[in-house]
Amino acid sequence: MGELQFLTWVRGTGLNLAISIFLLGVLVRIIEIYSLGRKKDLAEPRSVAGASGMNTVFRRSIPADGMLKTSPITYIGGYVFHIGLGVVVFLFAPHIKFFQDLLGFSWPGLPSQAVDFAAVLTIVALLLILIDRISKPVKRYLSTFQDWFTWTLTFLPVLTGWMAVQHLLLPYTTMLALHILTVELLLVFLPFTKLFHAFTVFGSRWYNGTVNGHKGVAV
């Protein structure tokens, strides 16, 4: 397969396949998780302002008292790479063009230098949290194959995308094809790995906030 054929495949069949698996996977996972339901809480509720599921969905984005100091790399690295990914994925002009072709609508992006800067920051943050995972006893202890695998799945699209834009190492076409391929791998595995927290994080925070909010505790 030549590099042009490769690019054509990842842009056509590959992309369709990946998006299909992604959408189906997300649907199945959401159903298999949330259809389990939960029992009604019969205890007399105590109502307190700020103690609810919705409050926790937002509030949990901020570290609990004293936690930032104990784990600065986890928090700062986490913020930087999550926000960085958001900027790179959704505010890079060529990506917006891609979404426009797919969805039929678009939105304004950021200048490419800003996106480039965000990409570099994201790469650095991801490397930092990888080092943290290797060097911190708790993280190393908790880590399984999936943790290293999903880190790689997240890192490669950013790296290949940035390298394609910078015309590094490989011809642009090949690097672009690799970039799209790595994004497709990410999409395929996302619903079935811990990366699915991208969806369940809202449900989890909501349940936690609701269960404790019933007791009048703002968590």
Partner 1 sequence: MSASLEKGVRVLKEVIDAPIASYFSSCVHCGLCAEACLFYTETGDPKYTPIHKLEPMRRLYEQEYTVLGRLKKLIGLSKAVTDAELAEWQELVYNSCTLCGRCSVVCPVGNDIVYMVRKFREGMSASGNAPDGIKGAANRTITIGSPMGVKLPAVKAQMRHVEEDYGLPIPMDVEGAEYLVMLSSMEIMNFPEYLGAIAKIMHQAGKTWTLCSTAFEATNAGMQIGNSDLARVIVSRIVDAAEKLKVKTVISPECGHAYTALRWEGANLMGRSFGFKVRHIIEVLGEFQEQGLLKTEGFETDRLTFHDPCQLARRGGVIKQQRNLMNMVSKNFVEMPDAGFMNWCCGGGGGASAIEEGEELRLEAFKKKKSQLDTVKPDRLVTACANCRIVMEEGLEHYQMNLPVVGLTEMIADHIPNPVVAKPEGN
User: Of the two residues 29 and 95, which places its CB atom closer to partner 1 in the complex?
Assistant: 29
Shortest Cβ distance from residue 156 to partner 1 (Å)?
18
Shortest Cβ distance from residue 63 to partner 1 (Å)?
8
CB under 8 Å to 194, separation ≥6 — which residues? 146, 147, 150
Shortest Cβ distance from residue 200 to partner 1 (Å)?
4
User: Of the two residues 73 and 91, which places its CB atom closer to partner 1 in the complex?
Assistant: 73
Shortest Cβ distance from residue 109 to partner 1 (Å)?
28
User: Of the two residues 68 and 114, which places its CB atom closer to partner 1 in the complex?
Assistant: 68
Q: Is 199 left (phi over 0), alpha (psi -120 to 50) or beta?
A: alpha
What φ, ψ does residue 192 adopt, rounded to 5°?
-110, 10
218's tokens: 């703002």
Binding site for partner 1 (CB under 8 A): 28-29, 32-39, 41-44, 46, 48, 51, 56-57, 60-61, 63-67, 70-71, 74, 78, 136-144, 147, 192, 194, 196-197, 200-201, 203-209, 211-212, 215-217, 219
User: Of the two residues 172 and 202, which places its CB atom closer to partner 1 in the complex?
Assistant: 202
CB 130 within 8 A of CB 151: yes
Q: What is the DSSP letter of 110?
A: B
User: Of the two residues 61 and 166, which places its CB atom closer to partner 1 in the complex?
Assistant: 61
